[in-house]
Copies of this chain bind each other. A is one copy, B any other.
């Protein structure tokens, strides 16, 4: 029996214990946005690491929730750093959960709880993988570090400075991002980057109080101001009109285009079949078609490689039922711009401000809410190969590799301060419902996820 197979057997033999450990973790609510149970959850992950033979401690951030840091020295100094978070989204809307959001109930081979997919399942699986290896061997082949933060769901406000302040401690050669999802065709998803984000509020002001709309002949209306300003930001063809907005957008490399083709190529389809399938998927969402009627490769390319300018919320005047004839004093828009490499959110913010000024909208206030830089790891690095080989070994099929993803996250400080190439895989699946009610993972994905972490560490050790 090879070492790897011994670990697989150990994981199978101890799987009930591992699931119980996961249930314990998700039964502790830890909602950063509401300051619920945060310290308890940090302590819990420290103890779980210690249970598995990992030396662990809490490290404070500057005014935020502490990070849990864990470390196991390996035969070689080469080091992999696992990033996860112990905080979870608020569980609302509560009445849409079929069992309590912190019950950890198991039904039909799935375990249900807020945070089980995002992100405690991944944290537990990786800790248990290292624990398993330590049980069966004298030493890990390489050094493994864990960084589990407590503020991801509120935008990781202290993570950047934490990594900068602790760059020596966190030093590593490879990074593993928080999660990954099995896709509907049964191939595990692997992710090499995240989009960046610029989140702003645009505020227009009119008279100092709401007025009777009879005065609309002579009193400026801030809702109209925002309508016109927004029309100057993006046109009906989805072109973003801020000068220079697209300047730093990188085209996909040949390798990335190959990955896109592989991702949609599970079935051999002609063009018209692909179009029909896209329309069918769109109809399931209540749409006639996807934006610009895209499908197939164009759809996936746009999804991963295009930046966006999105209206998250627009609020002005009377929002209740029926008729109120009012001329609002104030109008507010919340927008997120999802950014792709090498767009710089601070640069985009300044281009947005300049554009509004030059189009006559100097009166509109732009309030920065948060920003994240986009990151992608080149697809041809050895760490990507190691992860790919581990997936093939554990799942018997290759991963669907996404050069980046639609969502954003605080991956940038790992690149900036530690120079880490990042890959991401994990225990979720396409139906995990992160951030939604009935968040869940499948137990078999969880079992495979623990084995995957073992296999990945070994494959990394074999990498030159």
Q: Which residues of B contact A327 (CB under 8 A)?
A: 310, 312
B311 and A223 within 8 A (CB): yes
Q: Which residues of B contact A285 (CB under 8 A)?
A: 207-209, 211, 219
A210 and B93 within 8 A (CB): yes
Interface flag for A184 (CB, 8 Å):
no
- Stretch in contact with the other chain, from A70-78, A412-420, A433-441, A448-456: A433-441
Q: Which residues of B contact A331 (CB under 8 A)?
A: 314
Q: Which residues of B contact A205 (CB under 8 A)?
A: 286
For residue A289, which residue of chain B has the nearest CB? B220
Q: Kindly report how many copies of this chain are found in the complex they form together.
A: 2
A314 and B312 within 8 A (CB): no
In the complex, how many angstroms separate the beta carbon of A392 from the nearest chain B beta carbon? 27
B212 and A287 within 8 A (CB): no
In the complex, how many angstroms separate the beta carbon of A117 from the nearest chain B beta carbon? 11
- Stretch in contact with the other chain, from A243-251, A300-308, A383-391: A300-308
A:191-235 near B, CB below 8 Å: 195, 197, 199, 205-221, 223-224, 226-228, 230-231, 234-235
A:294-337 near B, CB below 8 Å: 294, 299, 302-303, 306, 308-329, 331, 334, 336
Interface size for A (C-beta < 8 A) is 88
Interface flag for A90 (CB, 8 Å):
yes
| Option from B34, B216, B316, B433 in Cβ contact (under 8 Å) with A209 | B433
Chain B CB within 10 Å, residue with most, of A285, A302, A323, A336: A323
Which 3 pairs, one residue from A and one from B, show the smallest C-beta to C-beta distance?
Answer: A208-B286, A214-B406, A214-B407
Give A contacts to B, CB under 8 Å.
Answer: 33-34, 89-90, 92-93, 96, 153-155, 195, 197, 199, 205-221, 223-224, 226-228, 230-231, 234-236, 285-287, 290-291, 294, 299, 302-303, 306, 308-329, 331, 334, 336, 338, 360, 369-370, 405-408, 433-437
A-B contact pairs, 23 of them (CB 8 A): A209-B433, A210-B436, A210-B437, A212-B407, A212-B434, A213-B308, A213-B338, A214-B405, A214-B408, A215-B406, A216-B309, A218-B294, A221-B310, A226-B314, A227-B231, A228-B236, A286-B329, A315-B316, A315-B319, A317-B334, A323-B370, A325-B336, A326-B435
